[in-house]
């Protein structure tokens, strides 16, 4: 009886052959769900980037604000929300900071009550709650890519994945039998030499 050896020969595909093979793979791969045909694809139209830039640049032209004065901060937040409504724009925490003339760390420290807790924290928290409500509406109505929405929820609004683990304490060898049952089992299997 002999050992049969086989040799498998593979050849490298040239670029043209590789591209043709790749196109065939793409043609044969289809999703079973038509609602996910364009999932993950960008939905940008020509001019979108310029429009988003114009929205962001509006905060550059705002007059300086006294951020220590609560009524002026409140007015700025209200003015920003009116602008968002007028332009039918989706806003975010960074945009809120830009509109107020502060960076995101300042907005977050106000939100957490680390700085100006008596004057600014309730106001900023209310504004963030409105942004969170908008985010939830956008997610429920398909206005935000689900992956992006989950990222925003975790990083801006404190959402997190929760896995409940219920610890149990069971003996590693199973249920322990009664002492008398053990003695009876052992007595029948042990041979004593005299």
pLDDT band at 39 (very low <50, low <70, confident <90, very high): low
Sorting pLDDT into bands at 50, 70 and 90, what band is 168?
confident
Nearest residue to 145 (alpha-carbon basis) of 35, 34, 41, 37: 41
Q: Give the residue, 192 or 124, on which the prediction is more confident.
A: 124
Residue 25 is predicted with a pLDDT of 55
Q: What is the Cα 169 distance to its own chain's centre? A: 34
Write down the pTM of the prediction: 0.56
Instruction: Give the range with max mean pLDDT: 2-16, 88-102, 125-139, 168-182.
Output: 125-139
**DSSP SS3 for 19:** helix
């Amino acid at each position: 009886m002999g050992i049969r050896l086989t040799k498998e020969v593979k050849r490298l595909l040239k670029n043209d052959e590789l591209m043709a093979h790749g196109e065939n793979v793409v043609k044969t791969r289809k999703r079973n769900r038509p609602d996910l045909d364009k999932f993950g694809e960008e939905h940008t139209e020509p001019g979108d980037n310029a429009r988003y830039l114009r929205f962001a640049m509006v905060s550059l032209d705002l007059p300086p604000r006294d951020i220590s004065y609560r009524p002026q901060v409140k007015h700025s937040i209200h003015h920003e929300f009116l602008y968002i409504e007028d332009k039918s724009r989706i806003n975010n925490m960074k945009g809120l900071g830009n509109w107020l003339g502060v960076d995101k760390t300042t907005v977050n420290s106000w939100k957490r009550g680390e700085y100006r807790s008596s004057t600014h924290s309730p106001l900023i928290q209310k504004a963030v709650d409105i942004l969170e409500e908008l985010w939830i509406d956008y997610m429920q109505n398909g206005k935000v890519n689900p992956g992006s929405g989950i990222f925003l929820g975790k990083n801006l609004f404190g959402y997190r994945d929760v896995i409940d683990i219920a610890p149990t304490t069971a003996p590693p060898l199973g249920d322990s039998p009664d002492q008398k049952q053990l003695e009876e089992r052992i007595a029948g299997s042990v041979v004593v030499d005299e």
